[in-house]
């Protein structure tokens, strides 16, 4: 009984940590957008990514926390919560690695190859989570990871169209390189079951 209580306490602690992390990110994003809209009149958006301009490099760090308006942020909030939590599902620490790799690859790829426009928003990281979850089953080859990959593919497979240039005011470049970053993270973080040596 004591062991069961201990396991239950660990699960509750893990869930609390996940809620604090995801909630903390979202509170920060919403506070920044509220301040940007009400105080700075959207002038904070200038800290986004400007492709191939030196000053635009700062956007690799700041762009995921900046949004065009509340509608843009609200649309990203739901996907960030669900996909971010699925990344955490088996190991909360993976969330940090996937976020960093996806955010960096998305930002750098957009800066190197993006259209000459301002690129902002958390969707690069969100597509990183999508790419990670979709491909972790392939790289890891475990039943839980394959199940999650299938679930994400069936539930969010339509997101894949976001990596193509089909809407002029959406940073498909950020989506594409975020997805690539997620795929890289899936490969790097894969915990394959050890196979016995062949004869």
Domain carrying residue 185 = 2-189
Tell me, letter by letter, the H, E, C secondary structure of 107-126: HHHHHHHCCCCCECCCHHHH
Per the structure, the count of domains in the chain is: 1
- Give the global pTM: 0.92
CATH of the domain at 86: 1.20.1540.10
Q: pLDDT in tens for each of the 199 residues of the chain?
A: 666 778 788 889 899 999 999 999 999 999 999 999 999 999 999 999 999 999 999 999 999 999 999 999 999 999 999 999 999 987 889 999 999 999 999 999 999 999 999 999 999 999 999 999 999 999 999 999 999 999 999 999 999 999 999 888 899 999 999 999 999 999 999 975 444 444 4
Residue 88: inside a domain, yes or no? yes
Please report whether residue 31 resides in a domain.
yes
Give the whole-angstrom CA distance, residue 116 versus residue 188: 31
- Give the pair of three-digit tokens for residue 137: 């089953």
- 37 within a domain of the structure (yes/no): yes
Is residue 26 situated within a structural domain?
yes
Q: Which two tokens stand for residue 48?
A: 């986004």
194: in domain: no
């Amino acid at each position: 009984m004591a062991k069961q209580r201990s396991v239950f306490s660990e699960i509750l602690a893990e869930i609390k940590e996940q809620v604090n992390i995801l909630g903390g990110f979202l509170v920060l994003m919403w506070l920044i957008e509220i301040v940007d809209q009400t105080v700075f009149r959207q002038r904070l958006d200038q800290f986004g990514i400007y492709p191939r301009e030196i000053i635009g490099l700062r956007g690799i760090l700041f762009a995921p926390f900046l949004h065009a308006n509340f509608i843009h942020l609200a649309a990203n909030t739901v996907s960030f919560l669900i996909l971010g939590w699925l990344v955490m599902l088996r190991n909360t620490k993976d969330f940090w690695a996937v976020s960093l790799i996806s955010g960096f690859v998305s930002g750098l790829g957009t800066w190197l190859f993006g259209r000459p426009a301002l690129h902002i928003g958390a969707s690069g990281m969100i597509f990183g989570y999508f790419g990670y979850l979709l491909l972790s089953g392939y790289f890891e080859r475990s039943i839980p990871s394959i199940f999650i990959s299938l679930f994400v593919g069936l539930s969010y497979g339509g997101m894949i169209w976001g990596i193509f240039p089909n809407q002029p005011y959406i940073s498909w470049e950020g989506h594409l390189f975020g997805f690539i970053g997620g795929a890289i993270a899936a490969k790097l973080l894969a915990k394959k079951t050890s196979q016995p040596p062949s004869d």
